[in-house]
Amino acid sequence: MNTISIGLLGLGTVGSGVVKIIENHQDKIMHQVGCPVKVKTILVKNVHKERDVNVSDIQLTTNPEDILNDADIDVVIEVMGGIEETKDILIKALQNKKQVVTANKDLMAVYGAKLLQTAAQNNCDLFYEASVAGGIPILRGLVDGLASDRIIKLMGIVNGTTNFILTKMSQQGRSYEDVLLEAQELGFAESDPTSDVEGLDAARKMTILATLGFSMNISLDDVKVQGISNVTDEDIQYGKQLGYTMKLIGIAQRQDEKVEVSVQPTFLVDTHPLASVHNEYNAVYVYGEAVGETMFYGPGAGSLPTATAVVSDLVNVLKNMRLGVNGKGTVTPQFKKKLKEPDQMFSKYFLRLQVVDEVGVFAEITSIFSQHGVSFEKILQLPVKEKGLAEIVVVTHHASLLNYENILLKLRDLGSVKEVKSSYRVEGGTK
């Protein structure tokens, strides 16, 4: 092979990292693929903008056609973001027989199946390792490292912004609003943090993980999503008293060929490995029938960690080019999607109630749980500043979501319950 030419879509944080790694690691890349690799053209919004990376010998353009129609460009790397327009560009790249690497989780969560089908039809690779958990090789781990196993559960911290916020709230006793402001000042959170803090970013990543892990076409609409904006310091402190750490957890699990996927604030027992994943770090816990429990841990974002995953995908593309097997590795989902119903989803729950401080109130509450066959694992009862009221915190044993939601409805109708203050899933500990 002669020099491999790359067309790069986007020169932001990750794009700049890709250019730096290809330049600085050229010897290692050449050793693996057998020829030089060069970024030939980059799509940017403004060709005259000052850059913190050397692009003096690279053509800059504002027209994607300059990349899509260039016969010399073998691989298109997409790190510019966006969904609809980006989808159209990548479909054309694949139709023009160009290999594609993307870091775009939003795109893959919505149009991944269509893009992979287009890649297969054109004998092209489409790799997207960097779309989930930055520099952690979790997708390759599922597809290659655990290819012979049957994945039964994926559970992870896949959003660095929310993990940073919850870590600071837990360790420093600060409010959500206060820590969010710091996260924005440090660049961990966007000026509009909705996608991160309301769980949408994590949901997109869990869609990708569940699709690969379970070999089913899971869509974003299948993911039950709850963000962290209503988590209070009081919730976190009560959890601490009971031996729990609060994290935004994505969970995908399979049982009897049916699956459930969710993203929600979750109390983990302090001894769970994910409980010790702090700040902007990500980690994904994988349960396989044969391998048992494994955990993938590392930086979930950032220029160089994410760019490392992109260039690793590029190296795999180039190895496939050398072997003449591009597009041969695409595996369509094996199983038809079957989602669990609420009576088939089981978990433990943390529930915090503000109640009238009178004799018999706790017996009333206990009776409602008993009617639905749900028992308590832990109980806290505490007075509150407001006279005549008390707070009750309970952690249930495993209960179906259907039963638990019916219990919540009855509690809200109970005269002695002034307010259901909060409710969270609980993971780990005894059954």
Residues 6+ apart with CB under 8 A from 104: 78, 79, 81, 82, 83, 86, 128, 131
**pLDDT (tens digit, 9 = 90+) per residue, 57-80?**
999 999 999 999 999 999 999 999
Residue 431 has what pLDDT? Answer: 54
Q: Under CATH, which number does the domain 342-427 receive? A: 3.30.70.260
Tell me whether residue 205 is one of the annotated catalytic residues. Answer: yes
Query: What is the pLDDT, as a whole number, of residue 405?
Result: 97
Judge whether 326 and 123 are in contact, CB under 8 Å: yes
In this prediction, residue 1 carries a pLDDT of 61
* The pLDDT of residue 329: 78
pLDDT < 50 regions, the chain: none
CA–CA dist 312, 124 (Å, integer): 17
Give residue limits of the domains in the chain.
4-133+303-323, 138-299, 342-427
**Which residue from 423, 246, 260, 248 is spatially nearest to 345, judged by alpha carbons?**
260
Residue 423 has a pLDDT of 97
Domain with residues 138-299, CATH architecture: 2-Layer Sandwich (3.30)
Selecting among 40, 98, 168, 205, the annotated active-site residue is: 205
Contact predicate 394/267, CB 8 Å: no
> Which CATH entry fits the domain spanning 4-133+303-323: 3.40.50.2300, 3.40.50.280, 3.40.50.720, 3.40.50.1100?
3.40.50.720
Task: Supply the pLDDT for residue 430.
Answer: 63
pLDDT at 134: 77
Task: For residue range 311-368, list pLDDT tens digits in order.
Answer: 999 999 999 998 899 988 777 778 899 999 999 999 999 999 999 988 999 999 999 9
3-class DSSP assignment, residue 363: helix
What global pTM score does this model have? Answer: 0.90
